[in-house]
Structure 1
Amino acid sequence: MGLRYISLAIVLCLTATSGAVAQTKDRLDRRDKLLGFESVGLLQSATGSCTAALITRDVILTAAHCVYEQGEEFTFRAGYRDGTEIAARAAVDVVIAPGYTAARKAGDRPSAIKNDVALIRLDSPMFEVGINPYEITSQARKGSALTVASYGRGRMGALTLERGCILQKRYRGDVVGLDCDATFGSSGAPVFVHDQGRTRIFAVVAVRVNGDRADAETGAVELSKHVPALMNTLRNNRAAAPAIGGAKRIKVGQRSTSAARFTKPGG
């Protein structure tokens, strides 16, 4: 199947079927509820927010369009809930997956989506109690039950944990179709899989098709091929752009002219 998965809005049945894992949503508005998900946080700029997750002590993962479209100062608030967080750090460097910028400029939405991954280096490592980086895994099969942790429109005050999402489709370019209930602000959210007794990140939420309709689908990008290259870019001298491997470096304070996809404050 080609990369027409987004523009054609694949029709998926989102009703429960025999043998399916029941989906549940929890608002993690207490410290004890956050156990194991303290390292997911709110990524904020002056004009909006997305979701992000810690993958090393000083590197977070999010969607490329979150930073490409909001090239201002960013703050990552780990374990954010109702105006407080466990820890907060400023961003000092951003790299996005090779191919994303060219696809955006060309109006090639499918190619942009399959490269919609970004890493952000923080100004100092996070060692606060409960804050531990997540590992990346490629171990998720069609039909796997997944968990998405996100901040979204109407539920930005605290992290929402959606358990029992199903991986329903696989497309070219390491894009997968999920039946998770993503919304604006959920961009950049980690998609977790329980792998050998551990919770690891399998993909990052990139797009939502058809909103609240019955044929809605959440598109996410698998990470096992993207993250190693982007980590190498962050480890090297990123003074020049484009960075190693063609990944784009966005300096903190640089702004794009593209329309924002962040959730607006209060929206």
Structure 2
Amino acid sequence: MRVLALICTLFLGGLAQAQTSALRSLDTDYAAASWKAVGRIDFGRGAFCSGTLIAPDLVLTAAHCLYHPDTNQLWSNDEITFSAGLRDGAAVAVRSARNSAAHKGFDPVAPLTAANIAHDVALIQLDKPISTFEVPPFYLHSDRIEPGPVSVVSYGRDRANAQSRQKECQMLAQQGDAMVFDCDVTFGSSGSPVFSHKNGRGKIMAVISGIMEIEGEKRSVGMVLPERVAELRSQLRLQVAPPVAKVRRITVGGGSARNNTGAKFVRP
């Protein structure tokens, strides 16, 4: 990860004047209306991550969210629930998981390298589709990626019951298919969508994999998506599951931090 940290440092000076905005709760119907496809994924009792509909029956999130830290097994599908647009205890739609796949290239016990970040992606197939009239899915960003403004919508510690949005944060650097952002995320924000905003409605550029520290500053990391998501769709069709591995994550969402899943914190 050191190379990625150095690349990020090179970009910091040029983006010093960028207008990164504060994180704000989407606490009204009007504010939340455009982001109903972003929801909370609950695992078992109390653990959660963030996720986004990319098709009527497909939710995009981070691969490490799918691993149960106590049993060293993937969460079973009957323990996974997606609540689209969850706010103050009410969701636009709630669905259980029919199937799920963490990318087979992700190693949950490996260091947070650029290569592992690039594969920290998962898909959850819902038991029933959600109407696109009710909740329009988001498309993936497939254009050229350049440093500059993005936004993020997430759940997290102390804001687990409503979405929060950072209207503008910055993509700082890229190494291979891994990217560094200055977006404000925390425990439980793993799997949150990072949006580009070119040519109309936002498109998902990345999902949040974890958090690292560069020169004393907290930075979030994510990955380029189109190729990884295509590979995950194939995994789901073939019902290929990634290998079981022992892993512990620093997490939040109820109960002790050791029993949940969420954003990873590391120091480069």
> Which of the five TM-score ranges fits, normalised by the shorter chain?
0.7 to 0.9
Q: TM-score, normalised by structure 2?
A: 0.82
Q: Which consecutive residues of structure 1, in runs of 5 or more, have no partner in the other structure?
A: none
- Choose which of 148, 151, 155 in structure 2 pairs with 1:147: 151
Task: Indicate whether 1:78 and 2:84 are aligned.
Answer: yes
- Map residues 32-181 of structure 1 onto 2, 5 A cutoff: 32-45=30-43, 46-69=45-68, 71-72=75-76, 73-100=79-106, 103-105=107-109, 107-110=110-113, 111-127=115-131, 130-139=134-143, 141-172=145-176, 174-181=177-184
Shift of 1:24: 3.3
Query: 3-state SS of the aligned residue for 1:34?
Result: helix
Q: CA deviation at 1:94?
A: 0.8
Q: Report the residue type matching 1:93 in the other structure.
A: N
Contact 1:50–1:262 (CA<8 Å) still a contact in 2? no
Counterpart of 1:109 in 2: which secondary structure?
A: coil
CA distance in 2, matches of 1:65, 1:58: 20
CA distance in 2 between counterparts of 1:64 and 1:259 reads 13
**TM-score normalised to structure 1 length:** 0.82
The structure with the greater share of residues assigned to helix is 2
CA RMSD of aligned residues (A): 2.8
Q: 1 CA distance for matches of 2:169 and 2:129? A: 31
Residues in 1 aligned to 2:102 and 2:40: alpha-carbon distance in whole angstroms: 18
Question: Does the aligned pair in 1 maintain the 2:180–2:221 contact within 8 Å?
Answer: yes
The answer to whether the aligner puts 1:184 opposite 2:187 as a matched pair is yes
Letter in 2 for 1:265: G
1:74–1:208 Cα change, 3 Å:
same
2:209 aligned to which of 201, 206, 209: 206
CA distance in 2, matches of 1:182, 1:158: 14
Instruction: Report the identity percentage.
Output: 30
TM superposition shift of 1:233: 2.5
Secondary structure of the structure 2 residue equivalent to 1:210: strand
